[in-house]
């Protein structure tokens, strides 16, 4: 039998990546705005963002996204009375169908967030850059990538993500599948929600096993499989992330934040924060303010 190869038709192609960011905004963050000849997608991960798209001002709530088409003037700042976080992906693509999904607020789903965080994870593997800096002119490759084909995975996830959004705009349920490395089952959702609601309270490993009627071994395996670290490690990371939000908010002292986030004392808070962020809480605020000054 003579076999004949079928060359796959590619309708969407991300030619290159310009920038990948996970940015943490202070309450008073803003910058002059810009326009450029490539696409830029912004996804609101926490809080609310006010964006400028051409001559319009729009609000992005948590879980919403906006795709700026090439050459559109745009700007962003935190909205409301709290800090906010976003993921920004800038790229080149000649796909005309992207215009169908651009220039409008997009209500996304867990699929979009999963793809974006997968892109961030692979970007950390591939590039030297600090993904928390808003303005980076060029991504710098690491001398040797930590894992095989990490840049290709970034491209694949970006293309799947955009195909998903375009199909969503075309009102079809035929969405492509993205592997969910951190897929949580109902039990994990309950544990994470409990942690989130009780960050300021004392929680022990034993408390979790009793609260959710699960054995210590099962709880350990569940977190190891989902996050590659333990339950108490995850709780500490959640507390650090919450403390960063409160620090950027600017209305709380370090002593208040230590109490609100479940640390024994301000000294304990400062020590743990330095361990995870390689700087003190005060130095973190100075670094955020410094980035703010760079954008104004």
CATH class of 15-169: mainly beta
Listed range (11-20, 22-31, 103-112) with the worst mean pLDDT? 22-31
Q: Higher model confidence: residue 241 or residue 134?
A: 241
Q: How many CB atoms lie within 10 A of CB 169?
A: 15
Residue 293 is predicted with a pLDDT of 58
Q: Higher model confidence: residue 187 or residue 78?
A: 187
pLDDT at 138 over 90: no
Q: Which two structure tokens, joined as six digits, stand for 84?
A: 């906010």
Cβ-based neighbours of 176, under 8 Å, separated by 6 or more: 160, 163, 164, 167
Q: Higher model confidence: residue 32 or residue 145?
A: 32
Domain at 186-295, CATH from 1.10.10.60, 3.20.20.70, 3.40.50.800, 3.40.80.10: 1.10.10.60
Task: Please give the average per-residue pLDDT across 255-264, as a whole number.
Answer: 95
**Mean of the per-residue pLDDT values for the chain?**
87
Q: Higher model confidence: residue 293 or residue 94?
A: 94
Confidence at 237, pLDDT banded by 50, 70, 90: very high
Q: Higher model confidence: residue 251 or residue 152?
A: 152
Listed range (48-57, 134-143, 234-243, 276-285) with the worst mean pLDDT? 134-143
Task: Please give the average per-residue pLDDT across 55-60, as a whole number.
Answer: 95
User: Where along the chain do its domains lie?
Assistant: 15-169, 186-295
User: Closest by alpha carbon to 112, among 70, 145, 73, 67?
Assistant: 67
Phi and psi, residue 59, nearest 5°? -105, 130
Q: Higher model confidence: residue 275 or residue 110?
A: 275
Report whether 60 contacts 88 (CB < 8 A): no
User: Closest by alpha carbon to 90, among 41, 134, 137?
Assistant: 41
pLDDT at 111 over 90: no
174 DSSP assignment: -
Confidence at 264, pLDDT banded by 50, 70, 90: very high
Q: 47-50: long-range contacts at Cβ-Cβ below 8 A with a sequence spacing of 24 or more? A: 47/78, 47/79, 47/80, 47/82, 47/83, 47/84, 47/85, 47/245, 48/78, 48/79, 48/80, 48/82, 48/84, 49/25, 49/76, 49/77, 49/78, 49/79, 49/84, 49/86, 50/76, 50/77, 50/78, 50/79
Residue 185 is predicted with a pLDDT of 63
Cα dihedral 175, 179, 182, 186 sign: positive
pLDDT at 176 over 90: no
pLDDT at 177 over 90: no
């Amino acid at each position: 039998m003579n076999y004949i190869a079928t060359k796959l038709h590619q309708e969407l192609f991300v030619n290159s990546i310009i920038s990948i960011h996970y940015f943490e905004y202070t309450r008073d963050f803003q910058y002059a705005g810009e326009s450029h000849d490539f696409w830029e997608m912004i996804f609101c991960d926490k809080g609310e963002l006010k964006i400028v798209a051409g001559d319009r001002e729009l609000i992005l709530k948590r879980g919403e996204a906006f795709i700026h088409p090439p050459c559109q003037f745009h700007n962003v700042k935190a909205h409301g009375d709290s800090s906010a976080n976003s993921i920004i992906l800038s790229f080149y693509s000649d796909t005309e169908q992207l215009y169908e999904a651009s220039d409008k607020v997009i209500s996304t789903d867990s699929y979009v967030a999963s793809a974006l965080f997968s892109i961030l994870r692979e970007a950390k593997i591939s590039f030297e850059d600090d993904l928390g800096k808003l303005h980076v002119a060029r991504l710098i490759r690491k001398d040797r990538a930590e894992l095989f084909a990490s840049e290709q995975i970034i491209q694949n996830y970006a293309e799947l993500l955009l195909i998903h959004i375009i199909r969503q705009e075309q009102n079809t349920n035929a969405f492509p599948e993205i592997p969910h490395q951190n897929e949580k089952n109902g039990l994990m959702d309950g544990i994470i929600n409990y942690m989130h609601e009780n960050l300021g309270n004392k929680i022990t490993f034993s408390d979790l096993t009793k609260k959710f009627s699960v054995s210590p071994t099962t709880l350990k395996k569940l977190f190891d499989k989902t996050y590659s670290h333990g339950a108490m490690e995850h709780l500490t990371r959640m507390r650090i992330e919450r403390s960063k939000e409160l620090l950027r908010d600017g209305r709380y002292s370090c002593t208040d934040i230590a109490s609100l986030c479940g640390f024994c004392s301000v000294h304990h808070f400062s020590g743990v924060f330095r361990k995870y962020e390689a700087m003190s809480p005060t130095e973190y605020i100075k670094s955020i303010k410094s980035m703010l000054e760079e954008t104004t």
